[in-house]
Chains A and B, each alone.
Chain A
Amino acid sequence: KAGVTQTPRYLIKTRGQQVTLSCSPISGHRSVSWYQQTPGQGLQFLFEYFSETQRNKGNFPGRFSGRQFSNSRSEMNVSTLELGDSALYLCASSLARENSPLHFGNGTRLTVT
Chain B
Amino acid sequence: EDQVTQSPEALRLQEGESSSLNCSYTVSGLRGLFWYRQDPGKGPEFLFTLYSAGEEKEKERLKATLTKKESFLHITAPKPEDSATYLCAAFHGGGATNKLIFGTGTLLAVQP
Contacts and interface: CB of A to CB of B under 8 A. Distances in A.
A102 B89 CA distance: 11
B43 to A, nearest CB: 3
Contact of B98 (A4, A102, A106): A102
A45 B2 CA distance: 13
Contacts of A99: 31-32, 49, 51, 91
Contact of A48 (B31, B49, B98, B105): B98
A104 B99 contact: no
Contacts of A107: 42-43
A31 B98 contact: yes
B23 to A, nearest CB: 12
B44 A104 contact: yes
Nearest to B102: A43
Question: For this complex, into which size category does the number of interface residues on chain A fall?
Answer: 20 to 34
Q: State the majority secondary structure of interface residues on A.
A: strand
Contacts of A105: 43
A64 to B, nearest CB: 15
Given A43-B87, A94-B98, A101 B46 contact: yes
Given A48-B98, A56-B97, A99-B51, A90 B44 contact: yes
A106 B95 contact: no
B98 A96 contact: yes
A29 to B, nearest CB: 10
A44 to B, nearest CB: 8
A43 B38 CA distance: 12
Nearest to A107: B43
Interface in A58-113: 58, 90, 92, 94, 96-107
A22 interface: no
Pairs A-B, 3 closest by C-beta atoms: A104-B43, A42-B104, A43-B102
5 contacts: A45-B101, A48-B97, A100-B96, A104-B45, A104-B46
